Amino acid sequence: MEKENLVEELKALIVKNLKLEDVLPGDIDPAAPLFGSGLGLDSIDALELVVGLEKTYGIRIPDEDVGKEAFASVNALTDYILRNKK
C-alpha cells in the first residue's frame, strides 16, 4: 500500500468514524496534531479510532505510550500502520 493512498484513506476514516460533520478529509493537514491544537480530538475519539483501525488494518495499539506516538498526526499514524499491518 502506498503511503499517499493510506494518508487519504486515514483522513476519510477519521472523518467517517468520528462523525466530524464540519470537517472534510481534505481539510485535515496530515502533519498537524490529531489532539489538542490540531484536529482537536479527545480521549473518547482516540478509543473510537483505535477500534476502527484495529478492525480495518489489523493493527494493535498495545498501550498509551505507543498510542501517543502513533496518534501524533495522520503521517505518524500512516507510518505506524505501514510498520505494523498484518
Q: Is 47 helix (H, G, I), strand (E, B) or coil?
A: helix
Cell of residue 80, nine digits: 505506524
CATH-assigned architecture of domain 3-84: Orthogonal Bundle (1.10)
C-alpha–C-alpha distance, residues 37 and 11, integer Å: 17
Taking each helix axis from N to C terminus, what angle separates 74-84 and 43-57, rounded to the nearest 10 degrees? 40
Residue 1 has pLDDT above 70, yes or no: no
Sign of the torsion formed by the C-alpha atoms of 48, 51, 55 and 56? positive
Beta bridge partners of 73: 33
Mean pLDDT confidence for 54-71: 92
Residue 31 has pLDDT above 90, yes or no: yes
Residue spans of the domains in the chain: they are 3-84
Mean pLDDT confidence for 2-12: 95
Model confidence pLDDT, tens digit, residues 21-30: 899 999 999 9
What pTM was estimated for this model as a whole?
0.90
